[in-house]
């Protein structure tokens, strides 16, 4: 067995691997060059000559069939091994559409290789011999089915965004310990004709895998601003909090999107809060610091969302102009378990206070928990104990007028 990362040296003309050999590794060419071919001697057909920085034998990383071609060194050549094991986990986490494309490319490549080996001049058959075809296994059938379902849902979601068929539900963010609403987090929902809902856990990850997340973000920002402006003085002094995706945040147009939406809808910047996760902020700290400063200069407040699920360190916040720290709901769970969780929350709250950050505890399931978290230093709270996400009209119907 060849170890991943191992470097091997081949002399001129030496075979790296032969057609029909079993293989489970690919090779990165460090020095020299290789020739990719089929056949033998004067019947040899050369497909490619590859040099430093290129990869050869890559199909073995995602396909268990024998090698489709031979590879030999041209001059003294140094290769670094890339193992299948090293890439399998990554491939499994890749979007199903990408997996299907890879399998389709392999299938078609094997059709071409079959024609070359058979000396065919007629159009390629629809299928290669069974022994060489990609297996029609339950796994592959499941992959095709999954991709088809994903493609259909993507088309439906694109239409739902374009036709304004999504809804925003709002969850109160309250001042502890009394539970008076100070703002609302806007959360996208996708209602269905039969009265049901497609879970955000289904359509938001799908949007994040595609450019749809940019359209969804833009829709949420605009709709939230319109909803709040439509209430006139009903929500005077309260803000709306929207989640900005990492992909949207990384766009050079992110600031313009938010600023132009505020300008078009008339919502004052100080009534908008943008929530970003730790991971989004830390992907490019220098860029993040600059963009956050621009948002704040406009009057928008910044919240670090789900604190505790990423870097879980207040040290990096010294470099960013955040206003709010939203403790992940796991902290509320820990407080319910016992005193150790309470000590952690008290410590985080104290440090956040030193940095001038307001602390919002998420995941509060009862008003009594809110009072306890208030004693631990959390001045604000959010969770089912103060209200589930609902359409704004329903939320306001149950909220006394200011």
The domain locations on the chain are: 7-88, 99-148, 166-397
Least confident span in 16-30, 89-103, 114-128, 257-271: 114-128
Is the pLDDT at 75 greater than 50, yes or no?
yes
Give the pLDDT of residue 136.
45
Least confident span in 88-92, 210-214, 355-359: 88-92
CATH topology for the 166-397 domain = TIM Barrel (3.20.20)
**Average of per-residue pLDDT across 124-128:** 45
Question: What span, in angstroms and rounded, lies between the C-alpha atoms of 389 and 84?
Answer: 45
pLDDT > 90: what percent of the chain?
53
Is the pLDDT at 345 greater than 70, yes or no?
yes
Is the pLDDT at 96 greater than 80, yes or no?
no
Please, which pLDDT band fits residue 267 given cuts at 50, 70 and 90?
Answer: very high
**Average of per-residue pLDDT across 73-81:** 94
Residue whose C-alpha is closest to residue 269's, from 247, 297, 233, 309? 297
> Tens digit of pLDDT for each residue in 349-401?
998 898 899 999 999 999 889 999 999 999 999 999 999 999 999 999 887 65
> Tens digit of pLDDT for each residue in 139-149?
567 777 777 78
Q: Which residues of 77-113 are buried (b: 16+ CB within 10 A; e: fewer)?
A: bbbebbbbeebeeeeeeeebbebbebbeebeeebbeb
Least confident span in 23-37, 145-159, 289-303: 145-159
Q: Which residues pair with 77 in a beta bridge?
A: 10
Higher-pLDDT residue of 58, 136: 58
Domain 7-88 and domain 166-397, same fold? Reply is: no
Is the pLDDT at 205 greater than 80, yes or no?
yes
Please, which pLDDT band fits residue 130 given cuts at 50, 70 and 90?
Answer: very low
Least confident span in 95-99, 124-128, 213-217: 124-128
Q: Residue 130 CB: number of other CB atoms within 10 A? A: 8
Question: What span, in angstroms and rounded, lies between the C-alpha atoms of 96 and 209?
Answer: 10
> Tens digit of pLDDT for each residue in 59-71?
887 677 888 899 9
Is the pLDDT at 302 greater than 50, yes or no?
yes
pLDDT > 70: what percent of the chain?
84
Q: Please state, in angstroms and as integers, the Cα–Cα distance from residue 294 to each residue in 246, 277, 289, following that order.
A: 17, 18, 9
CATH H superfamily, domain 7-88: Jelly Rolls (2.60.120.10)
**Average of per-residue pLDDT across 277-288:** 89
Average pLDDT of the chain to the nearest whole number: 85
Question: What span, in angstroms and rounded, lies between the C-alpha atoms of 22 and 64?
Answer: 8
Give the pLDDT of residue 399.
74
Please, which pLDDT band fits residue 211 given cuts at 50, 70 and 90?
Answer: confident
Is the pLDDT at 4 greater than 60, yes or no?
no
Q: Residue 385 CB: number of other CB atoms within 10 A? A: 18
């Amino acid at each position: 067995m060849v170890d991943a990362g191992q470097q091997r040296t081949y002399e001129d003309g030496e075979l790296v691997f032969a057609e029909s050999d079993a293989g489970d590794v690919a090779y990165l060419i460090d020095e020299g060059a290789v020739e990719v071919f089929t056949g033998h001697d004067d019947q040899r057909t050369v497909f490619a000559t590859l040099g430093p920085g290129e990869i050869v034998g890559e199909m073995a990383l995602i396909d268990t069939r024998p090698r489709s071609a031979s590879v030999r060194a041209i001059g003294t050549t140094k290769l670094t091994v890339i193992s299948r094991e090293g890439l399998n986990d990554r491939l499994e986490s890749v979007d199903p559409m990408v997996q299907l494309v890879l399998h389709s490319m392999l299938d078609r490549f094997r059709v071409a290789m079959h024609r070359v080996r058979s000396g065919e001049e007629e159009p390629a058959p629809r299928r290669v011999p069974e022994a060489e075809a990609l297996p029609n296994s339950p796994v592959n059938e499941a992959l095709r089915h999954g991709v088809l379902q994903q493609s259909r849902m993507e088309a439906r979601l694109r239409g739902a965004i374009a036709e304004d068929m999504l809804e925003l539900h709002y969850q109160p963010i309250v001042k502890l310990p009394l539970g008076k609403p100070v703002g609302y987090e806007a959360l996208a929902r996708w209602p269905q004709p039969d009265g049901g809902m497609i879970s955000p856990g289904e359509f938001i990850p799908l949007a994040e895998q595609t450019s749809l997340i940019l359209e969804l973000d833009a829709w949420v920002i605009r709709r939230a601003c319109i909803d709040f402006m439509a209430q006139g003085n009903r929500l005077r002094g309260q803000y709306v909090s929207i989640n900005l995706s990492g992909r949207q945040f990384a766009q050079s147009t992110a600031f313009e999107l938010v600023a132009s939406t505020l300008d078009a809808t008339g919502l004052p910047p100080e009534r908008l809060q943008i929530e970003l996760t730790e991971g989004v902020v830390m992907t490019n700290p220098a860029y993040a610091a600059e963009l956050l400063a621009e948002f704040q200069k406009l009057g928008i407040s910044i919240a670090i969302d789900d604190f505790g699920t990423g870097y879980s360190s207040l040290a990096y916040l010294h470099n960013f102009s955040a206003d709010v720290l939203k403790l992940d709901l796991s902290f509320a769970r820990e407080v319910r378990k016992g005193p150790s969780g309470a000590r952690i929350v008290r410590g985080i709250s104290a440090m956040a206070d030193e940095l001038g950050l307001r602390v919002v505890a998420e995941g509060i399931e009862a008003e009594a928990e809110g009072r306890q978290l208030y004693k631990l230093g959390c001045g604000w709270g959010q969770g089912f104990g103060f209200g589930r996400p609902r359409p704004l009209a329903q939320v306001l119907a149950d909220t006394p007028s200011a």
